[in-house]
């Protein structure tokens, strides 16, 4: 759909793209902060274990939680930026209209996966209510919440692709 036709999904594209751009930027920042926190916790653990001789009890749980969140957020961001592996041998042989149709159908399949991940992850979080981690004692639901958050982001980013096509390449 041409973006300049009033009354179509294309008319909303610039506003939606700005909102999703902001969400993607926030996701990028969260991934960076989580990765740095994970590396700092692991570095401190190595220092405390091998230099001081007194290992930390909490660093492994912090690193695991940060790693899980960072990876699942990165999966969702990869959907937005189109960096996941794909085979395009077939799509390259299609006419432009067929290619657009197939890409949007695939995007809707990704949306369905995101819904499934968000739903199943949400149920897992609910099942873990009241459970705490061994070393730190924080609710393990915070760790498991990365799955429904990732699923929700996959839905948002996949819908953006299905409605408006691929997002412009992210600036480095």
Residue 57 confidence (pLDDT) above 80: yes
pLDDT at residue 48 greater than cutoff 90: yes
Helix axes 146-164, 9-47, angle to 10 degrees: 150
In the prediction, which pLDDT does 5 show?
Answer: 42
* Greater model confidence, 142 or 13: 142
Calculate mean pLDDT across residues 34-51.
96
pLDDT for residue 68: 97
Contacts of 83 (CB under 8 A, 6+ apart): none
Q: Measured between alpha carbons, how far is residue 153 from residues 24, 46, 54, 146, 159 in Å? A: 9, 34, 40, 10, 10
What pLDDT sits at residue 169? 67
pLDDT tens digits, 60-113: 999 999 999 999 999 999 999 988 877 778 888 889 998 889 999 999 999 999
Burial tier of 122 (Cβ tally within 10 Å: 0-12, 13-18, 19+): middle
Q: Please tell me the pTM assigned to this model.
A: 0.86
- Helix ranges, 48-145 (H): 59-81, 96-127, 141-144
Contact partners, residue 170, CB within 8 Å, separation at least 6: 24, 28, 80, 81
Quote the CA–CA distance of 167 and 10 in Å, as a whole number: 13
Note the pLDDT tens digit of each residue in 6-20: 445 667 778 899 999
């Amino acid at each position: 759909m041409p973006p300049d036709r009033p009354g179509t999904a294309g008319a909303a594209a610039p506003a939606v793209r700005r909102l999703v751009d902001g969400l993607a930027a926030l996701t990028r920042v969260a991934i960076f902060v989580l990765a740095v926190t994970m590396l700092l916790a692991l570095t401190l653990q190595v220092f405390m274990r091998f230099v001081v001789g007194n290992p930390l009890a909490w660093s492994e749980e912090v690193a695991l939680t940060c790693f899980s969140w960072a990876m699942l957020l990165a999966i969702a961001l990869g959907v937005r930026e189109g960096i996941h592996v794909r085979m395009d041998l077939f799509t390259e042989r299609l006419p432009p209209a067929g290619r657009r149709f197939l890409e949007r159908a695939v995007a809707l399949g990704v949306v369905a996966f995101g819904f499934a991940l968000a739903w199943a992850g949400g149920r897992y979080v609910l099942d873990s209510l009241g459970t705490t981690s061994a070393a730190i004692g924080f609710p393990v639901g915070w760790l498991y919440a990365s799955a429904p958050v990732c699923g929700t982001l996959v839905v948002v980013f996949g819908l953006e692709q299905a409605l408006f096509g691929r997002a412009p390449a992210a600036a480095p």
